[in-house]
Structure 1
């Protein structure tokens, strides 16, 4: 009888819960060798796709700048530990002690001395049974966790670091540990190794072919595919709510959606989405569409669809987006409906622009927005999360220099930055699935939208980075817009301030603190999940929950502790808040009304421009 985890000679059947050694043996060496040659050929194509645009000067690598910043950051951490020999020795001893403890535990389990159940694995990167049952792979996994925990501890316990440096160091450690996970390499991942053996290397041929395609699609940069893009079409099976583009200019199109009720609320609803992404996150499909749901509740919905800028838009700054975006939409709505006052929603940076515009309107004695709703919006960037890692004077200057040539920041740069916030979920699983397993990603509308990136006009993006993330001017009453100094306290209208508990982009605490700056009544609500799923959560899904009615004027943690948790979507709660402000109804309105002739069907042409 063989020991557990092993097989008898000539028997390729493994014990339950283990994998046969046969799974790791190449069955057809000749085919395997042939596929390796094909893999190298495809890898050469990928290399050519990367090199060619650089030789032509079409791509200029800037990787040295973030690498230099990372080295500089880690050097400050190293200075603390290496400046005291005893401290450095203690750190090394701590790591070695953990390794020896792991080794002793492994020996005890292999000898049968330790039969206690192992804690359940909650990391989906290590789901294959051989991460537990094969001593080699179990050793790699445990060593990885010990080393990554130790590296994080070095940063946490480093004294004398300024907050920004500490934040950057912790972020860079997470990026490195995510990248160096043994799950990301064929030789150290049992699932990948068995896949390679089972297909005689065919998976690697397909994977390298996909890699070459993705680098070519990115014109020399890797455009990581997270979804099967062939299954989606904007205006075909996503962004399909019926409506019309009723006005447009250089900065945006304004869409009005067809009514689905006989009467509608007298006040129209204007949505200001972020220009960093496209508006159809709010209209992915009929079941998930906030836009459709709002129409079905009796709102006359108007949405700003931002232009995907090019060199012509280099000088379009925040004032341009405020005047030619929000103010243009307000004028359009008034022409289409006869209503001067609207309910407004701002999402993410669209909300930040909306807040700045409201403060500007207060200075100019303009009263056109009756209520404001902010989806995961920051107006105070003190606790702005991991995106602050990318913002200091040196990095902003480098971005501005990069934008100077074309007049915009390529959308892939921002997409990469957002993906890096959750690299273990949004980068490395797709690297493994696509290029090592050789499998196409599953069709997923949310990830299709996530990859449909937009460019940022140079003047607009520079203003945003400097005034919000770097200098935090809006929260301090220092932001200058259209010759006015903005004060959020001047905004006296009712505000519905929605945050998401697990938001990595606009943290819930940051949104809460920013909401305190408004001068009127603020209703703070925190949804479950993150920046997208916390917002796009229709009542029909029955998912998540939201918190509301926490103690007034409390610190964030006290508000959360005292808030009322309600299962399901926050959408009905918001709609009740809107109706409480004004529930007067009028007959349903057709897009454009009597004064504006529709230009084209929703979702319009601006949103369909891809980079």
Structure 2
């Protein structure tokens, strides 16, 4: 079944095992049609039409269930990554390298040059980029690393790192995705054995241990035990209790004015005498709690917009459980429509500035394309934060998304009905282990210094689950098949096209984004002829978007995108666009005002009666679901 009501029969090897498993769960699972009133999954593929050879084997339901259970268990162990899929990528790389004598010779020469450079005294080392640390690598900045033997250790590691980078990149004839997978895994393995992570190879740790007589290691062992106990009991990390929604974060005043099974709609109280004529509706990703955009007051985009005279509505998604296994992308698309209806009841005959973040932006793009197709003119503008609409060039977080791994992940999700919070958080941490795992390991467990908890780190630990059906549809139709970018994604039985969207668009790209690479997000200008403004900000997928105007250090570039007929490479656009210091948030406020319709008195907080009457104070109830 397609994402939004499209009844498209998937290949039999994809559908039959899952549907047979669902039959075995009928006694314990509430049918989706009874609970939500939506369409049920398609009928199983008829054996008469199954193109696969039967090999003369009878149907063994018990064996099939056992096989599914084994695959689901393996998926849990590997966090959804199929080990044989990785093996095939590495085998492909090895075969390509083995059949490329010129590459082998070049790598041997590189190794010899590295050995010569390593044998020279450090001050006389040639300015070979092979010895320079990778971007953002500050592991060896301390003065202790410049003294023997640690200068030799860290230089050797850097040379090894560079050599493996060269060895795993660009083998002759190797598919680019396999190339990037092998390079990513090799980098993760090297980061794991970095000398900065070792007790006897890190001079900072050795010096601290000598100063304290081992006290730092005793504290580190205590911290490790405490963290392990919290991990197995499902408790949040230490310090997260200091950032509770409604008390420390998500404190912008407002009311929940609308609630369905899938969302709560928060309307924030006005803080100015007059407000912009059109409200803002924010659609966050359902993979995250909404308050990433309403953290501590100084880090709150919501607070910034309200203080600048905008009426802001925020969607707070439900944290699904096993009973929500059959919620699909169509349900999330319908929920956005219901939120627009609720806003229309509070502010009749008024267009809306729609804002989407990450997956919420992808969902909003599909919804906006549907509205454009159906001549629904309720959107005034559309703003996208770190949002991919074309998945041809995925980020590192999506490198392992292929047919094999998606099927493997479906076995994992089908048993529990969702993709678990821990599985997602751990996967993202592993992708950025150099920044998110090993520095904390060294600081907490070797140096004996508890890393400080922040509002952003506490939010990151407060992740959500993803419904089985929705996640499967998203991975297959949006990511694997790239249907949205190609104009083949169906909503309500008919394909939608981003090219139909004509409202002005404001698109924020983050330079160091590994989830939605900015060069991939930039492709949006090839999909639409709308008035499109790009903002390229410093930082990554999260810290590039959370950009407090009061803090120094942020940079951004802003310029109109080239029109669709005149393609301009992303690097060319970046080089010619001036760099500005500060946060891009004020630019968004200016742009919204420019495309708005003036000012008005603040609207009421919900309606007196009906479905949009105030229900409870912000941040609502769904944000507390664990």
Same fold per superposition (TM over 0.5): yes
- How many residue pairs end up in the alignment? 545
- Compared with structure 1, are the counterparts of its residues 393 and 513 closer, same or farther at alpha carbon in structure 2 (3 Å cutoff)? same
Q: CA deviation at 1:247?
A: 1.4
CA contact (8 A) 2:264 2:315 kept: yes
Question: 1:94 aligned to 2:104?
Answer: no
* Alignment partner, residue 568 of structure 1: 582
Q: 1:242 aligned to 2:253?
A: yes
Aligned pairs (5 A) from 1:373-392: 373-392=383-402
The corresponding residue for 2:479 is 469
Q: Distance in 2 between matches of 1:550 and 1:493?
A: 14
Q: Which has the higher contact order (CA 8 A, sep 6+)?
A: 2
1:594 is the counterpart of 2:605: no
Query: Residue 91 of structure 2 corresponds to which residue in structure 1?
Result: 75
Distance 1:194 1:180 in 2: 20
The change in CA–CA distance for 1:90 and 1:503 in structure 2 (over 3 A counts) is closer
Match of 2:207 in 1: 194
- Equivalence for 2:377: 367
Using a 3 Å threshold, how does the CA distance of structure 1 residues 359 and 370 change in structure 2: closer, same or farther? same
Q: How does 1:410-421 map to 2 (within 5 A)?
A: 410-421=420-431
* Kept in 2: contact 1:336–1:594 (CA 8 A): no
1:282 matched residue in structure 2? 293
In structure 2, the residue matched to 1:456 is 466
Shift of 1:519: 3.9
SS at match of 2:120: helix
1:269 deviates by 0.9
Return the alpha-carbon distance in structure 2 between the equivalents of residues 455 and 551 of structure 1: 35
| 1:255 is the counterpart of 2:266 | yes
Of 74-83 and 91-100, deviating more is 91-100
**How far does residue 418 in structure 1 lie from its aligned partner after superposition?**
2.3
CA-to-partner distance for each residue in 1:173-230, whole Å, 9 max, x for gaps?
2111111101111121122233334444443343334334334433389x995x7313
* Range 334-343 or range 444-453, more displaced: 334-343
Residue of structure 1 equivalent to 2:523: 513
Question: 1:29-67 deviations in whole A, cap 9, x for unaligned?
Answer: xxxxxxxxxxxxxxxxxxxxxxxxx9xx99952369554
- 1:492 counterpart residue number: 502
On the 8 A contact 2:532/2:560 being kept in 1, the answer is: no
1:91-128 deviations in whole A, cap 9, x for unaligned?
A: 3453244224312336xx7xxx9999x99988421233
In the alignment, which residue of structure 2 is the partner of 1:230? 241
1:217 aligned to 2:217? Answer: no
- Structure 2 runs not aligned, ≥5 long: 1-69
Pick which of 350-359 and 232-241 moved more.
232-241
Q: Is the 8 A contact 1:363 1:484 kept in 2?
A: no
> Deviation of residue 337 (structure 1)?
2.4
**Aligned mates of 1:569, 1:129 — CA distance in 2:** 33
2:483 is paired with a residue whose SS is coil
Query: Match for 1:315 among 326, 329, 332?
Result: 326
Q: Indicate yes or no: 2:218 matched with 1:208.
A: no
Deviations 1:204-259 (A, max 9, x none): 343334334334433389x995x731322111111110011111111111100010
Q: 2:197 corresponds to which residue?
A: 184
CA positional deviation for 1:276? 1.1
Question: What are the equivalent positions in structure 2 for 1:32-181 lying under 5 Å apart?
Answer: 60-62=76-78, 65-83=81-99, 88=104, 91-92=107-108, 94-105=110-121, 123-133=137-147, 135-181=148-194
CA distance in structure 2 between the partners assigned to 1:339 and 1:192 by the alignment: 64
- Whether 1:404 and 2:418 are equivalent positions in the alignment is no
Q: Does the aligned pair in 1 maintain the 2:80–2:412 contact within 8 Å?
A: no
- The 3-state SS of whatever aligns with 2:594 is helix
Q: Distance in 2 between matches of 1:503 and 1:588?
A: 37
**Separation of aligned partners in 1, 2:521 and 2:414:** 32
Match of 2:317 in 1: 306
Post-superposition offset of 1:309: 1.1
| Inter-partner Cα distance in structure 2 for 1:145 and 1:246 | 56
Q: Does structure 2 conserve the Cα–Cα contact (< 8 Å) formed by 1:537 and 1:543?
A: no
Q: How does 1:569-584 map to 2 (within 5 A)?
A: 569-584=583-598
CA distance in 2, matches of 1:541, 1:142: 35
* Per-residue deviation, residues 314-371 of structure 1 (Å, max 9, x unmatched): 11111101112x1121111122222442111001110000000111122333222221
- Tell me the SS of whatever aligns to 1:448: helix
Task: Determine helix, strand or coil for the equivalent of 1:218.
Answer: helix
CA apart distance, 1:540: 2.7
The question of 1:265 aligning with 2:276 is answered yes
1:433 maps to 2:443 = yes
Matches within 5 A, 1:325-344: 326-344=336-354
Does the aligned pair in 2 maintain the 1:477–1:487 contact within 8 Å? yes
- 1:68 Cα shift? 4.0
Distance, in Å, in 2 between the alignment partners of 1:368 and 1:361 is 8
1:240-286 deviation digits (Å, cap 9, x = unpaired) = 10011111111111100010011112211100011111111111122
- Kept after mapping to 2: 8 A contact 1:267/1:339: no
Please say if residues 419 and 468 of structure 2, whose CA atoms lie closer than 8 Å, have aligned partners that are also in contact: yes
Q: Aligned to 2:546, which of 530, 533, 536?
A: 536
Structure 1 residue runs without a partner (length 5+): 1-53
**Per the alignment, in what secondary structure is the counterpart of residue 356 of structure 2?**
strand
- Check conservation: 1:259, 1:590, Cα contact below 8 A: no
What is the DSSP-based 3-state SS (H/G/I as helix, E as strand, rest coil) of the residue aligned with 1:219?
helix
The alpha-carbon deviation at position 533 of structure 1 amounts to 2.4
Q: Secondary structure, in 3 states, of the residue corresponding to 2:353? A: strand
Classify the secondary structure of the residue corresponding to 1:367. Answer: coil
